[in-house]
């Protein structure tokens, strides 16, 4: 008896394309899979993951016996999926000066041109005439698996609350271009690299300024992001990103430029590094712990649009979204979560953050500010919507005594289609 063992090879490769995605895009995505080559499971897995990352399609593969001994034919079936998606949300995540209550909506068009492209539209309005609009478009380059994208966004704001009598208002217009390249695409891990250039123009006006102040900020950034399952420990999911930015800030009003040169001193070339890392660890199917660290470092004073903010529903949650911001700092969140039912989760959390208001201090006073909070959250989610309720009470950092301040309550409801 003779037993012969040989490595399996690809026979015929067949594409059953029932989507509107062009065959040339599909062929570029599976270019690493060739007839008569040895079948490598990780390469096939990575190829299918990247193919399914093309917007608006669903791809599945099947291996079946080939015409020759030791060969397997590969059949790839592709169909359209989720051509249009969107969401609508209502929350109180804003601040009292530009509008606490917000209504936001977005629409995503996947593969509208049949080339694997995607169009994103988003708009937001607050109860105090604060408005935001953004349009973004991306498409594959057909060079490797990279994508190129463009975006334009606009903010129009009017300050109310205690500062209403100053008639402060303004707008921020931003346009950017980016190039994204996947590095690792596997079932249990991923890594991407993105390079982006942004041009941002800020115009502030009001009785306090006497005239319109125009600032322009140009930023070139590089982001490395990744994550996966079981990277740091068993039964865990981890994600991280690191963004290095360098740019130039300018003030196009001679009088205000001279004033800022002797005070905030943010003009000129700057650099900053932002790191964000989080992990969810499951102890049981229902009990888990979530931890996150967000940190920023800068080499000089920054414009307010580049600073790290302490408060808000994504920071130290007992403080307003308009709380202090700084050039350097970090925020850490720790959350113990329990799934009460498949769609309902309750959690208890602790937040802590510390910032340096300005890299190079001015005006005297303590340049460091720290905040801490503890609280609880309740979240219900389904396929087409979610409701989130958060209550957080400020505490004195480093001490267990509660600060004399009422708790902050955040609520958000959303619907998706």
Q: With 50 as the cut, is the pLDDT of residue 401 above it?
A: no
> Is a pLDDT exceeding 70 seen at residue 21?
yes
pLDDT at residue 248 in the model: 98
Which pLDDT score, from 0 to 100, does residue 4 have? 56
215 class by beta-carbon count within 10 Å (0-12 exposed, 13-18 middle, 19+ buried): buried
User: Percent of the chain having pLDDT more than 70?
Assistant: 95
To the nearest whole number, what is the mean pLDDT of the chain?
Answer: 92
Is the four-CA dihedral 263, 267, 273, 279 of positive or negative sign?
A: positive
Residues above pLDDT 90, as percent of the chain: 71
Residue 341 pLDDT greater than 90, yes or no: no
Indicate whether this model's pTM tops 0.75: yes
pLDDT in tens, 265-278: 999 999 999 999 99
Across the strands, what pairs with 225?
A: 192, 241
The yes or no reply on domain 9-80 and CATH 3.10.20.310 is: yes
Find the mean pLDDT for residues 176-191. Answer: 94
Q: What is the pLDDT of residue 2?
A: 58
Instruction: Give the pLDDT band of residue 193 (cuts 50, 70, 90).
Output: very high
Residue with more model confidence, 237 or 398: 237
For residues 85 and 316, give the distance between their C-alpha atoms in angstroms, rounded to a whole number: 31
Confidence of residue 68 (pLDDT cuts 50, 70, 90): confident
Residue 161 has a pLDDT of 75
Q: Determine the pLDDT at residue 388.
A: 98
Angstrom distances, CA of residue 363 to CA of 262, 299, 354: 10, 19, 19
Who's near 342: CB < 8 A, 6+ residues apart?
none
Question: Which range is most confident: 92-101, 208-217, 360-369, 382-391?
Answer: 382-391
When pLDDT is averaged across residues 178-183 and rounded to a whole number, the result is 96
- Tell me which of 397 and 213 has the higher pLDDT: 213
- Rounded mean pLDDT, 350-368: 87
Beta-carbon contacts of 170 under 8 Å, excluding residues fewer than 6 positions away, are: 156, 157, 202, 203, 204, 205, 206, 212
The string of pLDDT tens digits covering residues 126-154 is 998 899 999 999 999 988 789 999 999 99
Residues 6+ apart with CB under 8 A from 254: none
Question: What is the pLDDT, as a whole number, of residue 369?
Answer: 92
Does the pLDDT value for residue 292 go beyond 70? yes
* 195 Ramachandran zone, left/alpha/beta (phi>0; psi -120 to 50): beta
- Dihedral pair phi/psi, residue 166, rounded to 5°: -80, -10
CA-based max dimension of the chain: 97
Residue ranges of the domains in the chain?
Answer: 9-80, 84-100+162-416, 101-161
Nearest CA to 304 among 323, 279, 290?
323
CATH top-level class for 84-100+162-416? Answer: mainly beta
pLDDT of residue 5: 62
Are 9-80 and 84-100+162-416 the same fold in CATH?
no
> Residue 209 pLDDT > 80, yes or no?
no
């Amino acid at each position: 008896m003779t037993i012969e063992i040989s490595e399996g090879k690809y026979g015929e490769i067949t594409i059953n394309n029932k989507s509107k995605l062009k065959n040339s895009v599909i062929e570029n995505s599976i270019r690493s899979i060739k007839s008569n080559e040895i079948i490598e499971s990780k390469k096939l897995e990575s190829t299918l993951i990247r193919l399914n990352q093309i917007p608006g399609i669903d791809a599945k593969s099947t291996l079946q016996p080939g015409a020759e001994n030791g060969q397997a034919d590969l059949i790839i079936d592709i169909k359209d999926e989720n051509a249009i998606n969107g969401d609508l949300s209502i929350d109180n995540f804003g601040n009292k000066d530009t509008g606490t209550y917000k209504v936001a909506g977005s629409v995503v068009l996947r593969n509208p041109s049949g080339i694997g492209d995607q169009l994103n539209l988003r708009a937001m309005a607050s109860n105090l005439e604060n408005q935001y609009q953004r349009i973004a478009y991306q498409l594959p380059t057909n060079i490797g698996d990279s994508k190129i994208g463009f975006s334009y966004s606009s903010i129009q704001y009017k300050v109310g609350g205690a500062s209403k009598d100053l008639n402060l208002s303004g707008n921020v217009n931003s346009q950017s271009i980016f190039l994204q390249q996947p590095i690792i695409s596997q079932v249990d891990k991923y890594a991407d690299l993105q390079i982006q250039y942004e041009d941002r123009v800020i115009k502030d006006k009001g009785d306090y300024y006497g005239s319109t102040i125009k600032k322009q900020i140009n930023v070139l950034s590089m982001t490395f992001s990744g994550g996966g399952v079981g990277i740091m420990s068993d039964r865990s999911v981890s994600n991280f990103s690191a963004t290095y930015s360098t740019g130039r800030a300018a003030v196009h009003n001679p009088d205000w430029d001279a004033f800022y040169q002797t005070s905030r001193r943010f003009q000129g070339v700057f650099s900053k590094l932002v790191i964000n890392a989080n992990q969810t660890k499951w102890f049981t199917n229902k009990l888990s712990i979530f931890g996150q660290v967000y940190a920023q470092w800068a080499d000089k004073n920054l414009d307010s649009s580049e600073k790290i903010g302490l408060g808000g529903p994504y920071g130290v949650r007992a403080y307003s979204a308009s709380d202090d911001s700084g050039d350097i700092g970090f925020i850490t969140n720790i959350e113990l979560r329990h799934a009460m039912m498949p769609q309902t989760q309750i959690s208890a959390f602790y937040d802590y953050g510390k910032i340096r208001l300005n890299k190079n201090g001015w005006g005297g006073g303590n340049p460091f500010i720290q905040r801490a909070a503890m609280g609880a959250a309740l979240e219900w989610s389904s396929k087409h919507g979610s409701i989130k309720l958060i209550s957080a009470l400020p505490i004195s950092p480093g001490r267990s005594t509660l600060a004399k301040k009422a708790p902050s309550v955040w609520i958000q409801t959303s619907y998706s289609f």
